[in-house]
Amino acid sequence: MPALAAGVDVGGTKIEVLIIDESGQVVERTRRATPHVVTTPPGAATASVISEALLELLGDDTSLPVGLGLPGMMTHDGVLAYAPNLPSGNGADFTGLMRAHRPGQRFVCANDADCAAVAEYVAGSAQGHDDFVMVTLGTGIGGGLFSHGQLVRGRSGFAGEIGHMVVDPRGPRCPCGNRGCWERFASGAGVARLAREAAIAGRLPMLVEEIGDPEAIRGEDVTRAAELGSAEALAVVEEVGWWLALGIANLTAIMDIDRVVIGGGLTQAASLLIPAARRHLEGMVEGAEARPPIEIVSAHFGEQAGAIGAAFLAARS
């Protein structure tokens, strides 16, 4: 099956670049580390790394359209207006930057979680569900909203910044500047923060003994211990699941959805987090007994959903 488009997903730590065919299958892929270098113009270092990766996969061929999924508030015309987890890209015109690197190639830029939602709607876990929310758990939390089968982007293109719903106004400071954003509790960084707090409070003694320093405990240390059956680690996962359910309940009240698709870099912990969120959700949703069931499922495309969806968007634009 011939190649359809190329897709790029820019995350806080890595850049995924791939080519898909018409069914959404990945034909080729490569990966780069995300640069965090402040440049003039903004985003130039990131655009250069993406260009190098595209050169590796496509050579000088500019016939395939390329979609870019970027983390933060994307305008309708492809400018990354604000990115708490990629501040070096604030204000970057990625469409213009990429055209300068690869003249003649068509580029489409969108929010990375919007791209992931498109991938799951077209060929993944949201097929047949016209009203759903995509929740990407990574460094932060991204969101893609579908209503009546249409991606909701809002007036400026900024809809879906669900990670910055404030769930605890006295909570920890977020990179966006607010306190108590949802992503401070239910993202990869949130897992790590809650784990460190639990360790310092003496609730993870076995893990502290293994790691040696409570401040050095990472989210993946907790999920690994939980997968091995550690009761103390499972208690932290249950707490994260509660926070995940709280945000989903808020989204349900706003969007009247029937499905939530969980994706992003934290999907390796989905087998633990999703059951925990399901246990807490019913008691949080308004009128749960009057609503059809709300399903929480894993993303079909896993960590690659953003890049695959970006490619679908480019092919269809």
Residues 146 and 104 in one domain: no
Domain, as residue range, for 41: 3-117+304-316
Residues 24 and 81 in one domain: yes
Please name the residues in contact with 198: beta carbons below 8 A apart, sequence gap of 6 or more.
204, 232, 235, 236
Q: What does the pLDDT look like over 131-168, one tens digit per residue? A: 999 999 987 899 999 999 999 999 999 999 999 999 99
Mean pLDDT for all residues in the chain: 93
Residues 113 and 219 in one domain: no
Residues 224 and 132 in one domain: yes
Residues 312 and 250 in one domain: no
Virtual torsion, Cα 166, 151, 248, 78, nearest 10 deg: -40
DSSP 245-281: HHHHHHHHHHH--SEEEEESGGGGGHHHHHHHHHHHH
Residues 159 and 104 in one domain: no
Residues 113 and 135 in one domain: no
Residues 241 and 151 in one domain: yes
* pLDDT-derived band at 129, boundaries 50, 70, 90: very high
Of 171-175, 213-217, 257-261, give the lowest mean pLDDT range: 213-217
Residues 292 and 227 in one domain: yes
> pTM for the whole thing?
0.91
**What value does the mean pLDDT take over residues 28-37?**
95
Residue 102 within any structural domain of the chain:
yes
pLDDT of residue 189: 85
Main-chain dihedrals φ then ψ at residue 109, nearest 5 degrees = -115, 140
Residue 123 within any structural domain of the chain:
no
pLDDT of residue 264: 84
Q: CA angle, corner 120, sides to 79 and 118, nearest 5?
A: 30
Q: CB-based burial of residue 83 (10 Å sphere; 0-12 exposed, 13-18 middle, 19+ buried)?
A: buried
Residues 70 and 133 in one domain: no
User: Rounded distance, CA 142 to CA 264, Å?
Assistant: 9
Virtual torsion, Cα 219, 222, 223, 228, nearest 10 deg: 160
Q: What does the pLDDT look like over 192-244, one tens digit per residue? A: 888 888 888 888 898 888 888 888 888 888 888 888 899 989 999 999 999 99
**Total domains, the chain:** 2
Residues 237 and 205 in one domain: yes
User: Rounded distance, CA 26 to CA 304, Å?
Assistant: 9
Beta partners for 136?
142, 263
Residue 24 within any structural domain of the chain:
yes
Q: For the domain that residue 38 is a member of, what is the CATH number? A: 3.30.420.40
Residues 109 and 221 in one domain: no
Residue 122 within any structural domain of the chain:
no
